[in-house]
Amino acid sequence: MTDSWSSSGLDVHLGWDPATGRTGLAAAIRAAIREGRWQPGAAVPSTRALAHDLGIARGTVTRVYADLAAEGYLKTTQGAPTRVATAGSLPQSAPRQAPRDPAPRWDLRPGRPDLTAFPRQAWLTATRRALLRTPASALGYESELGAPELRDTLAGYLARARGVVADPARIVVCHGYSHAIAVLSRALYGLGVGEMAFENPSLAMYRSIAAAQGPRIVGVPVDEHGLQVSAVDSPAVVVTAAHQFPTGVTLAPHRRTALTRWAADEGGFVLEDDYDGEFRFDRQQVGALQALAPERVVYAGTASKTLAPALRLAWLVLPRSLVEPVRAAMADSGSRPSLLNQLALAELIDSGAYDQHVRRSRAEYRARRSRLLAALPDSVRPQGIAAGLHLLLRLPPDGPSEATALAACHRRAIGIEGLGDCWMDDNRPGGLIVGYAAPPKHAFAGATQTLIEALWEITA
């Protein structure tokens, strides 16, 4: 039965069926915001008051609020009431609750690994070993920083594989990268960082998540050498140094030096999003920027590209000054990654199976990228280094628009994304972001051929 609730004297009503639990409560609040019953900028009930009125655990409301803040519906400020986001920053849709589009026949969406290659047997073995070795006492309420076993393992792995200066005491395990950037943005805002810079272009979703925590978001241009460091004028900046998303360039050595010098001289912070740093194809992987300034650079990594997004595992390696603020923000968020997944990942890395899987995936994705490049029409210009899970295709300046290219792809049931959504301003060049890692191995040839047919249609 759906009930209508009024909380703590405020005129806020929710059509919520208690049987739907946390998911249903989040959906009811989204609906109240989208329909204008919860007005932009208005204070929402405290977690304690709403939990009391609904007769549920306060932690449930806390987690729902944290999820909605990450999505851009709510704005949280330390020491002040949680409020509905302002009208201009509200998301246009509710991605977690909107009806899902049918899966494309040919999946070339960026940011996705080949999920059919997930090492199921190795993961099962790692999970079994982790459970056998874990004492019952470890299954209680865990630290906000994450499982000690995984933090210890990550410290060693990141040092040898990515050159990160890592200490387990400075590592925080998060519930995916979206959660990581949310808690870091909230911690920085609590320290007085009122503005964060992002590369332009970059993923709009992460800019929205950061903005929901309080900071103002600005853009910094990217060219063939990566982020234009001379244009940075904010106390914090987010950078994809090893493989810029979506342009595919890498931050040049002189820019790396300039960025870390800026951080040291200005007291700024850099968030290094190393989302696919393990996948460099033409040479040895570029080491992490963090090693140049461990007390000014926050290193962020994830298992979403190497294993699977559904694991919801990401990590931050923090400067000492940010450990406690981020720990507190983690506690406030009420969200934790699965302990069993953390223990299984630690076991997978320690056993060597993780490195084996990454090497296999690297070889497969290298071959896919080469096959795609060889098939492209001459009029379509690929951009970026030989790395990662995606390729940016720039269309002829006097040729078809990005919208025309996307329409041709969609007519053929190709899942693909455009460059236009990544820009922070208008009248920018278009292009197609091709996620060549996403199709299952048996479907890659068909997906590539169908994409080439669409490109020939619009460029011939």
> What's the CA dihedral at 415, 416, 418, 419 to 10 degrees?
150
Q: What is the pLDDT of residue 88?
A: 65
Q: What is the pLDDT of residues 388-438, one digit of tens each?
A: 999 999 988 888 999 999 999 999 999 999 999 999 988 788 999 999 999
Report residue 221: phi and psi, to 5°.
-65, 155
Count CA atoms within 13 Å of residue 218 on its CB side: 13
| CATH class of the domain whose range is 106-114+355-459 | alpha beta
100 vs 261, which has greater pLDDT?
261
Mean confidence (pLDDT) of the chain: 90
Compute the average pLDDT of residues 354-358: 97
Q: Is the pLDDT of residue 95 over 50?
A: no
Look at the domain 119-354 and name its fold. Aspartate Aminotransferase; domain 2 (3.40.640)
Count CA atoms within 13 Å of residue 147 on its CB side: 25
Helix (H, G, I), strand (E, B) or coil at 51: helix
Q: What is the pLDDT of residue 80?
A: 80
What residue ranges of the chain are covered by domains with CATH 1.10.10.10?
Answer: 3-89
Q: What is the pLDDT of residues 124-140, one digit of tens each?
A: 999 999 999 888 887 87
Question: What's the pTM value of the predicted model, to 2 decimals?
Answer: 0.78
Question: What CA–CA distance (Å, rounded) separates 245 from 384?
Answer: 10
Q: Is the pLDDT of residue 118 over 50?
A: yes
Helix (H, G, I), strand (E, B) or coil at 210: helix
Q: Report the first-to-last Cα separation within the chain, whole angstroms.
A: 59
28 vs 295, which has greater pLDDT?
295
The Cα angle at residue 196 between residues 113 and 290, in degrees rounded to 5: 60
The Cα angle at residue 321 between residues 316 and 326, in degrees rounded to 5: 45
Q: What is the pLDDT of residue 94?
A: 42
Q: Is the pLDDT of residue 37 over 50?
A: yes
What residue ranges of the chain are covered by domains with CATH 3.90.1150.10?
Answer: 106-114+355-459
The residues near 196 (Cβ < 8 Å, ≥ 6 apart) are 185, 188, 210, 215, 216, 217, 218, 234, 235, 236, 237, 238
Residue 13's pLDDT band (cuts 50, 70, 90): low
Q: What is the pLDDT of residues 178-216, one digit of tens each?
A: 999 999 999 999 999 999 999 999 999 999 999 999 999
Q: Is the pLDDT of residue 282 over 50?
A: yes
Q: DSSP assignment, residue 447? A: H
The residues near 24 (Cβ < 8 Å, ≥ 6 apart) are 16, 17, 18
Task: Give percent of the chain above pLDDT 90.
Answer: 69
Please provide the CATH number assigned to the domain covering 3-89. 1.10.10.10
Question: What CA–CA distance (Å, rounded) separates 151 from 22?
Answer: 29
Q: What is the pLDDT of residues 363-373, one digit of tens each?
A: 999 999 999 99
Burial label for 283, CB within 10 Å (0-12, 13-18, 19+), is exposed
CA 446 remoteness from chain centre: 29
* Radius of gyration, CA atoms only, the chain: 22
Q: What is the pLDDT of residues 224-260, one digit of tens each?
A: 999 999 999 999 999 999 999 999 999 999 999 999 9
Compute the average pLDDT of residues 69-80: 81
Compute the average pLDDT of residues 287-306: 96
Q: Is the pLDDT of residue 9 over 50?
A: no
Q: What is the pLDDT of residues 56-67, one digit of tens each?
A: 888 788 888 888
